[in-house]
Amino acid sequence: MTVVASMFYPSSAEAATSSLDELANKARYHTEEKIIDYKDVEKEGKRSVEKTGYNDVEVPIYEWELSDSTNQTSLDKDWTYKEFKDEYYIYPKNNYNQGYYAPKEFNRLYPASRTEPWAEQKEIKKQVPYKVKEPVYQSKTVSRVTQKTQAYSKADTKSKLTAKDKNLKTINVYAPSKTVMSKVNKNWYKGKISYTSYKKTTSYYTNKKIVTDIVYHNKDGKKVKAIISKGAKATKKNSNYYSDVKYTPYKKEKGKWVKQKQVKKSKKISKKDVNSKSENKKMTETKTAFVPSKFIKTKKETEKVGEKTVTKYKTVTEYKQVPVVTNYTAWDKKVQVGTKIEKEPYTYTDEETYTYTVKEPVYEYLQVENTAVQTYTNAVNFYNQHRLSQEEFLQLLQKAEIPYRVENGYDNTRYVRGSVSVGGVPHSYSYTPATLVELLIFDDQSAVNLSYLYEPYTRNDYDDVKISAGGYRIK
């Protein structure tokens, strides 16, 4: 990338007046707004209100003539209707187009029924209760590891938790994703993890059949000696070797040889009758592991905590003699029976003042610590934004408590060259992986090309000079 520019930059006397302490605080923290309460605020407004006046008018008196099950006050069985908002459409069942409209103000159609004087057998379905067990769940807040990450034996990044592989080489132990953790402090969480490790063990076994001095009666009543079979497991204790011998003796009872309980005894054996075998034994270990809080996510989860008895219902069919019910459409009609004087309302609009209450939020402003990367970004960007000297910039890193070191090395990611003209005087620069530069290296092994940042008149920000871990080499 090639950059050509003609620029004028202010002198150091025009540098920003913010103190290094203020800039360090801005680099490390940002402010978040949080609603902590609401307060009632009374306000006043004007509104139009509708008021009612009355006039005397003569109006008809109507009464509903209620329907019964006869055709005189019910809808004929060959007719039906469709209901709309303000009216009914009444029509023959066999010809929808031959109907007519009846206003709801004077007509009322609805389903009705009558009981006949005879009965019939009918299938009756009813709901019968029964009890079942259902799980009960409870919500709780759980902290889990967000990704597979290095585990530590205590809350210290220098104390990595380790194990042995099958070749007894020391390896790092990682906390699996989704492992449940509990909070130690704002930087650390801990929890139990299980992992595989290997341990060198030696096993012993007999290299031949060994006849012991233990004598017992076999099922034929003969006296025989107990035998330790070849390949039997042996143990070593205080330079001596032992192996278990098992045998089943018989005892003569009422003229018959009766089987007794099996006997197991430990016998000392000769070292020459024992072979040994060493192996790296696979084991599962469970220990308390510590994980940095940046790899933890806390959220609500549900878990089964018990059971409850719930009443449910099933359908049971019964057959009973029930009265016969005939359905029909009832038709109530409103008819005039006289007149009367009524107050007929009319409306008009007037204006009135009223008060109302609104909820307004009360805010609290919290200072929240930035991530390490955001802190690096802010501090590096402040170098040019506030016209800091190189010495002031390094003081800012210290005041912002950003661990760093400066090394000479090479930026493997930078291919940039440029030229600027300041007051008519040209100034050129070039950076490639072969250019020896000063590297500002942070704790997470990311870095900044310090030489490119300090390059006069470039006004570089963090994104222009950052180097990912592994993107540089130290001289």
Q: Which of 93, 94, 98, 95 is nearest to 75 (CA)?
A: 93
> Tell me, what's the pLDDT at 426?
83
Q: Which residue has the higher pLDDT, 50 or 374?
A: 374
Q: Which residue has the higher pLDDT, 295 or 42?
A: 295
Contact between 350 and 46 (Cβ < 8 Å): no
Q: 420-427 — which CB contacts under 8 Å span 24+ positions? A: 420/3, 420/4, 420/5, 420/6, 420/7, 420/456, 420/457, 420/458, 421/5, 421/6, 421/7, 422/6, 422/7, 422/8, 422/9, 422/456, 422/457, 423/8, 427/456, 427/457
Q: Which residue has the higher pLDDT, 298 or 344?
A: 298
271 exposure class (CB count in 10 Å sphere: 0-12, 13-18, 19+):
exposed
Confidence of residue 356 (pLDDT cuts 50, 70, 90): confident
Confidence of residue 2 (pLDDT cuts 50, 70, 90): very low
Q: CA 111 to CA 81: how far, in whole Å?
A: 11
Q: For 387-430, write each residue's pLDDT tens digit.
A: 999 999 999 999 999 999 999 999 999 999 988 776 778 888 89
Give the predicted TM-score (pTM) of the model.
0.34
Q: Of 11-25, 258-272, 332-346, where does mean pLDDT reach its minimum?
A: 11-25
Confidence of residue 5 (pLDDT cuts 50, 70, 90): very low
User: Angle at Cα 124 formed by Cα 122 and Cα 129, nearest 5°?
Assistant: 165
> Tell me, what's the pLDDT at 62?
86
Confidence of residue 71 (pLDDT cuts 50, 70, 90): low
Q: Is residue 322 within a helix (H) or strand (E), and if so which, with residue range?
A: strand 296-369
